[in-house]
A = this chain, B = another copy of it.
Amino acid sequence: MSRPAAPQVRIQKGDFDIAAEIAALSTGRTDIGAVVTFSGICRDDGGRLSALELEHYPGMAEAEIERIARQATDRWPLTHLTVIHRFGVITPGENIVLVLTASTHREAAFDAAAFVMDFLKTRAPFWKKEHLKDGSKGNWIEARETDDASARRWRG
């Protein structure tokens, strides 16, 4: 298969359009057999949250996600990889992150998307702070040990 385009990485405040992102990579191509999208969406944690505020480290966020994306394109035969991560105040039901992979075969598309998400969770410099329904600021969300475990499964 043809070599992948360079991964597309975007850090942005605004929302994204999954259909437009899929169209951008597949229009006019006849060698893509599988497209996987992962969208991470803001939850209200059982009605407790009014929003999540996403802080990020500008410059490093782009650099680190590009490093993760290149590891994925080195490891799996992808025709495309797009990663979009939002920052700022995001309300429940809104999109936070999109990972989109395309490949000739489905295994590569699935595995690469899961890999990118596992490393986004554990290595991309973003932090989430809770905004509560009563108007107060809540806690910084704590990292989950299960996310570290998910990232470790890709070793070796």
Contacts and interface: CB of A to CB of B under 8 A. Distances in A.
Interface of A: 17-19, 22, 26, 28-44, 46-47, 92-93, 104, 106-107, 109-110, 113-114, 117, 150
A33 B128 CA distance: 14
Could you say how many copies of this chain the assembly holds?
Answer: 2
A54 B106 CA distance: 19
B106 A30 contact: no
A93 B39 contact: no
Contacts of A30: 42-44, 47, 92-93
Contacts of A36: 36-39, 113
Given A37-B36, A106-B40, A117-B106, A18 B22 contact: yes
Given A32-B93, A38-B109, A107-B150, 10 more contacts: A22-B39, A30-B92, A32-B43, A33-B43, A35-B37, A36-B36, A36-B39, A38-B110, A40-B106, A110-B114
Nearest to A31: B43
A83 to B, nearest CB: 14
